[in-house]
Amino acid sequence: MIAIYPGSFDPITLGHLDIIQRGDRLFEKVIVAVLCNPSKSPLFSLEKRVEQIKDCTQHLPNVEVESFTGLTIEYARQRNAGVLLRGLRVLSDFEKELQMAHTNKTLWANIETVFLATSNEYSFLSSSVVKEVAKFGGSIDHLVPDNVANDLYKCFRVPPQPKPQ
């Protein structure tokens, strides 16, 4: 079974990577699908986000990374996927995620959304939090893959920070 893991990934965090790695153990193939959303202005370009995810998933041969536009379900249909993979961190995620899962099911009955509980150590983590910390010069090495940490330090022109004790 092919699973699509859709998202904005601006940028990918260790929480996302954890979901990808665990999804990889459950499904034949996991396609990380980066949404091109013209109504948002992301920090990193679509191409950069795809490159960042490819870099940190190199060790996973059954993981592919692509970008898409439009409805996730249309992309899933094109890629012959049976599952949409999403992480659930906290209760407040649940409402939006359940709404998306139900909406997607009405658009294509063959799709199932599979939720993985985000690992405890990443349950607070989001791309927005990472950007906020990096912007004000804090260490983000423990929150994102190394390649992404370097990109963030470069982007905000701060030198790499020591990891917190």
Active site residue 54: no
Active site residue 16: yes
Decide: residue 79, CB within 10 A, 0-12 exposed, 13-18 middle, 19+ buried: middle
Quote the least distance from Cβ 162 to ligand PNS, whole Å: 29
Sign of the C-alpha dihedral computed for residues 40, 46, 48 and 50 taken in this order: positive
Site size toward ligand PNS (CB under 6 A) is 10
Quote the least distance from Cβ 93 to ligand PNS, whole Å: 9
Q: Taking the CA atoms of the chain, what radius of gyration do you get in angstroms?
A: 16
User: Per CB under 6 A, which region of 18-26, 51-59, 68-76, 143-151 contacts ligand PNS?
Assistant: 68-76
Question: Binding to ligand PNS by residue 42, rule CB under 6 A?
Answer: no
Quote the least distance from Cβ 115 to ligand PNS, whole Å: 12
Active site residue 45: no
Q: Tell me how far the alpha carbon of residue 122 is from its chain's centroid.
A: 13
Query: How many other C-beta atoms lie within 10 A of the C-beta of residue 90?
Result: 9
Active site residue 127: yes
